[in-house]
Structure 1
Amino acid sequence: MKRIVYQMSRTGIFLLFIMIGFIACKKEEFKTSTTSDVNISDYLLQQPEQFSEFSKILQLTENEGFLAAYGTYTLFAPNNAAIAAFLTSKGKASVNDVAIADLKDMVKMHLVRDTIASVLFNDGKLRTRTMYGQYLITGAQNINGSTFITINRQANVKQADIRVGNGIIHVVDNVLSPAKLTLAEMISQNDDFSIFEEALRETGLYDSLNVLPGTKPDTAYHTVLVESNDVLRAMDPKITSFAALKEKYSDTGDPKLTSDSLYLFMAYHILPGLKYIPDIFKASSHTTLSPLDVVTAKLKGTTLLINDDTFNGIHEQGAAINRPASDLTAANGVLHVMSNPYAIKVRFPIPVYWEVTDQPEFTSLNGIFRVSNKSSKKFNPGELQDINWEQGSAQYIVAPEARKFYVYNDDYLQFGSLRTNVVANSWIEFKTPLLVKGRYKVWICFIRRGGGGGVAVSFNGELLPKVLNLRESLPAGVLVGNKWTYPPGTTPESLEILGKKMVFSEYVYQPNPSQTIDYYRDSYGLLAGTIDVKKTDRHILRMDATWEGSGDVQFDMIHFIPEKEDQLWPKFNPDGTVVQKP
């Protein structure tokens, strides 16, 4: 499950870094064009001087008709020079000499079932996988004083944002090659990682990293923070071999034991799921394969640090990720290279701001997940791995631009109802993200609708003190100047005393974009109570209907905040930004 764990987003900083790079050198000027007269296949045919070879590939793979039909696609179209270079590298004279299966894979690698304009390329990983099943990453590269957008570090974008009837075309100057090696194979091919590789083999974790995704890719992907031989020696000069590493860390003598300290040390360098650099710095903590231990992440300037923390007033220097050498896509995950070593630390409770829509069944919805005015099919009980409910349906929904609900990323999870009536949902269970042992206040963030008149919340079977009324609307806001804000006598602090809070910060008001809003009566958070997490793990949060009611219920986020920490900040905006306390 993809999670937001204390999502201290630094997207703005990262984008500023990219922009500085663009300003420092001459930016490549793109020619853009728009036409609704033709779809992708026909446009390519009309530009034979650029795309005759790729058009031929579409014909050979029987994709020409498919891309001439209605749909929403983004094509990274290799030009004729790119195809020629590809053929030379393969020792082929013509595309007719390439196996059809390989050509089909090529088309899939260049095609995304989503419309992604170049303005979204600054976020590292594109939001939707290619039809081959792998993500593309974007970046910036300086060539002879000009800055180019790069795709997968393999190709430069030569022309962007050609809009056609069924999507967008971006022209690239090299063929994009999919990753074929597993994480284990990628590590074993680099002699600089020989100690780390042997440790993976001796702990048995190598086999876990040598599995292709297969039919359930979301459970097979991993992210590895690898430490080179030099980095391990920086931790301890005596570590010149695996034997020395074993002597330092193995407390049982058998690294294959999951309780052995060396096993846990290696597992602590492996994160479940697919996490590129932006995914790491957008969340302040991540679970690892060491079951009770998380790593924290922090962006300082342009440096991404692991476990750079302050506990009890003492700053603990973090370990930097070597960003230029990282974001390496493997067939079953992502490899990042550490510049400094790190090891397991004792952890204290940290806030977890969980976006309940971050479920694998939703994030894999190409062309729907976080796309304005889109919604998923209706899911039945048992069809979501981390959420269950009595009966009826659940649905993933993204609000249209003209109807903001002021929820994070503009998306939410909707249930048909939550009521005591026998024909409706009377309970919903959520499996939480990993929570570090400690005491937390729990906030249920939602959109007020017609259902959920009375909701009792329990944690691992223990009932929390407050019964929530999800049908309650707050007092109407007032317009002060050009800002809709709290009504007279109401402040964020006075709401907190009542167990309520605004989850978003000042934002553009809909439907009047000339005004802003920092208070919205129908989208807020309710305090359910305080929980005592006795074990660092994932847990069950359950909601039971206690009153009769009608209408649907719509959830945005659930916040687990240590009871002695600030409960009102940070804020989470509809555009995906996270705003820290001023």
Structure 2
Amino acid sequence: MKRIIKLSGIVISTILLVFIAGVGCDDGLGDKTFLTTDELTIAQTLDASPEKFSTFVEMLHLTGYYTSLQSYGSYTCFVPVNEVLDPYIKERWGVNLVSELTTQEQIEEVKELVKFHTMAKSVGASGFIEGRMPDTTYTGDYLTSSYLLGGGIGNLIINREAKFLQYDIRSDNGYIHCIDKVLTPYSDPVPVVIERAGKHTIFIEALKKTGLYDDFSVKLTETGNKKNFTIFAETDSVFALSGINSFDDLADKYAEGDTDYEEVTNGLNRWMAYHATVSFLYSADIPDEGYLSTVLENNAIKVDKNDDVLKINESETGGEVETWVSLVSDYSNYPAKNGVYHTVDTLMDIFIPKAKHILFDPVSSQPEYISRAIRSMNKVTADKYSEVDWYPPTNTVRFIQRSKNVNLDWNFFDMGGCVWYEFITPILAKGKYEFLVCSNGGNNARGKFQVYWDDEPVGSIYDVTKKASQVGAPDSVAMEANGWRLGKEWITNKAGTKQSDSNGCMRFIITKELLCPVQKRHKIKLVAVKSGGIPLDYFEFIPVD
């Protein structure tokens, strides 16, 4: 049996589509420029310094993008100076001037180059952190920023290629950052990028022998959506520390004589599949704690960040000395067209974690929220989410985020007006849990719901209309007897109001005996017994010894 990898495509933002569709030969703006003030736009600012930027400006004119960067909007441009771009053009296309690029293929390449150097968001240098940029370029890719040479903006490296010559050149519609190299647009998938690095030859051979090299090289789904992988790879030197000096050594250790490496039950195949997630995660995107789903079904990577140190699969012996896997920073956060790869400092074996306390936020835990494809107060239909569903799939606002909300991450999921809602949980380790749900209930809530766990009813009716006084608040003993608990003391709004002091934010105990026999994700379904609004905050899973 061969492994079939199922992935959800990511939604490219509307503004990206507008840019790509609207800045061709006829960009829809004509010769008009829409300005917010009399200040210079990015295009005009570049035009005003021909000694540095004339070649890039010529590229903007050639592609039709000049008008777009002269128009109302919010952009960030990483602009190579003339002395960098001129030799690049000569080496790449064998011409001396942009005007000599006349074929459609050449123009399309220049378009890709300009789009890769431009983000649909205004970001100053102070907004760059280790890892990916806060938004995608117009090619749909994330640039990276890193401080491998030390702290300070002067040591910042973009995509491990370019440094700033000048930064934060402010214009009316965004920022210009002047760089000393041309950024290379992503074209290769993750396995090719790892192979090209030349430090992971045993790992690459194992990917090829297991068939995962081809699986992880797919860039698009059958429907045209983008696939993403994050791969954690050992270098040859890391393997050598464990006495593994060849592919045969690796196979001997994990396959145990079974040479059908493409079979999903093969020990080596399982070990390699465990090294990949089906998500796009730079180190900064890895959660502070929790689990990462891997291609190996029902086996997740445990992560914890303590004092900015990422600990992968930290042992749980309870002793004074614990072990874990770390990232090698110099060889991590390497982007590709369909994801990113990291290098680990020791063998990353399949880890079986203990059950742990998890808060599942149905808003900010969603990949569409993380990728900014869906934002607060945006109307969406159910098909816009990959891990949330509702019926009927109406076009409506599904979450609201405000600093005054006494909710986790200051947001809640609006469950009004539908028959049922479904949510796919994070990875839960094998174990027994208390299962709770928190909402903004009381006077403004009208719904009553039956909760289902993996399509089986669990617990009594969740009556969100219950007021705090009806369930014994603030007496915790009386509330517990009635199946309720106060909200979390550490969850506050911006003003500092505690959730535990809010009568409208209580936790309902669905069950104290939720059994999870295997490590996996699950489905929560809430079916309306009585329809009505319910601002859903979070689900909670508390391990039971």
Q: Structure 1's 79 and 69: CA in aligned 2 closer, same or farther, altered over 3 A? A: same
Which stretch of the first structure deviates more once superposed, 526-535 or 212-221? 212-221
What is the Cα deviation at residue 123 of structure 1? 4.9
Name the CA distance, whole Å, in 1 between partners of 2:314 and 2:436. Answer: 27
Matching residue of 2:452: 458
The one-letter code of the counterpart of 1:41 is A
Q: Structure 1's 164 and 337: CA in aligned 2 closer, same or farther, altered over 3 A? A: same
Q: Decide whether the 8 Å contact of 1:296 with 1:307 is kept in 2.
A: yes
Q: Structure 1's 492 and 42: CA in aligned 2 closer, same or farther, altered over 3 A? A: farther
The Cα offsets for residues 452-475 of structure 1, whole Å up to 9 and x where unpaired, read as 432221212332224323345658
Q: Decide whether the 8 Å contact of 1:434 with 1:537 is kept in 2.
A: yes
Query: Are 1:528 and 2:510 matched, yes or no?
Result: yes
The Cα offsets for residues 121-162 of structure 1, whole Å up to 9 and x where unpaired, read as 125222322111111122225489984333222222344444
Matching residue of 1:500: 485
Matching residue of 1:343: 349
1:355 to 355, 361, 378: 361
What is the Cα deviation at residue 203 of structure 1? 1.0
1:554 to 515, 521, 535: 535
Which stretch of the first structure deviates more once superposed, 463-472 or 319-328? 463-472
The Cα offsets for residues 87-126 of structure 1, whole Å up to 9 and x where unpaired, read as 3653542233452112111121122223334333125222
Matching residue of 1:187: 194
Q: How does 1:73-152 map to 2 (within 5 A)?
A: 73-84=75-86, 86-87=88-89, 90=92, 92-98=95-101, 99-140=106-147, 142=149, 147-152=154-159
Name the CA distance, whole Å, in 1 between partners of 2:89 and 2:132. Answer: 28
Name the CA distance, whole Å, in 2 between partners of 1:355 and 1:257. Answer: 36
The Cα offsets for residues 438-496 of structure 1, whole Å up to 9 and x where unpaired, read as 11222323344844432221212332224323345658xxxxxxxxxxxxx94889877
Name the CA distance, whole Å, in 1 between partners of 2:432 and 2:225. Answer: 31
What is the Cα deviation at residue 509 of structure 1? 3.8
Matching residue of 1:56: 58
Q: Structure 1's 144 and 116: CA in aligned 2 closer, same or farther, altered over 3 A? A: closer
What is the Cα deviation at residue 361 of structure 1? 4.1
Name the CA distance, whole Å, in 2 between partners of 1:81 and 1:351. Answer: 56
The one-letter code of the counterpart of 2:405 is F
Name the CA distance, whole Å, in 2 between partners of 1:495 and 1:138. Answer: 50
Name the CA distance, whole Å, in 2 between partners of 1:122 and 1:190. Answer: 24
Matching residue of 1:17: none
Matching residue of 2:286: 280
Name the CA distance, whole Å, in 1 between partners of 2:206 and 2:312. Answer: 21
Q: Structure 1's 218 and 311: CA in aligned 2 closer, same or farther, altered over 3 A? A: farther
Matching residue of 1:65: 67
Name the CA distance, whole Å, in 2 between partners of 1:266 and 1:102. Answer: 36
The number of residue pairs the alignment matches comes to: 498
The one-letter code of the counterpart of 1:376 is N
1:426 to 396, 399, 419: 419
The one-letter code of the counterpart of 2:452 is S
Q: Alignment RMSD, CA only? A: 3.3
Matching residue of 2:160: 153
Q: TM-score w.r.t. structure 1 length?
A: 0.76
1:446 to 439, 446, 456: 439
Q: TM-score w.r.t. structure 2 length?
A: 0.81
Secondary structure of the corresponding residue to residue 348 of structure 1: coil
Matching residue of 2:386: 385
Name the CA distance, whole Å, in 2 between partners of 1:121 and 1:348. Answer: 36
Name the CA distance, whole Å, in 2 between partners of 1:170 and 1:496. Answer: 57
Which stretch of the first structure deviates more once superposed, 176-185 or 36-45? 36-45
Secondary structure of the corresponding residue to residue 224 of structure 1: strand
Matching residue of 1:250: 255
Q: Structure 1's 507 and 360: CA in aligned 2 closer, same or farther, altered over 3 A? A: closer
Q: Decide whether the 8 Å contact of 1:199 with 1:266 is kept in 2.
A: yes
Q: Decide whether the 8 Å contact of 1:36 with 1:164 is kept in 2.
A: no
Q: Decide whether the 8 Å contact of 1:162 with 1:168 is kept in 2.
A: yes
Q: Decide whether the 8 Å contact of 1:308 with 1:315 is kept in 2.
A: no
Secondary structure of the corresponding residue to residue 310 of structure 1: coil
Name the CA distance, whole Å, in 1 between partners of 2:222 and 2:125. Answer: 31
The Cα offsets for residues 423-446 of structure 1, whole Å up to 9 and x where unpaired, read as x41211222222222112223233
Q: Structure 1's 472 and 324: CA in aligned 2 closer, same or farther, altered over 3 A? A: farther
Matching residue of 2:414: 414
Percent identity, please.
Answer: 25
Matching residue of 2:461: 467
Name the CA distance, whole Å, in 2 between partners of 1:563 and 1:218. Answer: 40
Matching residue of 2:17: none
Greater RCO, 1 or 2 (C-alpha within 8 Å, sep 6+): 1
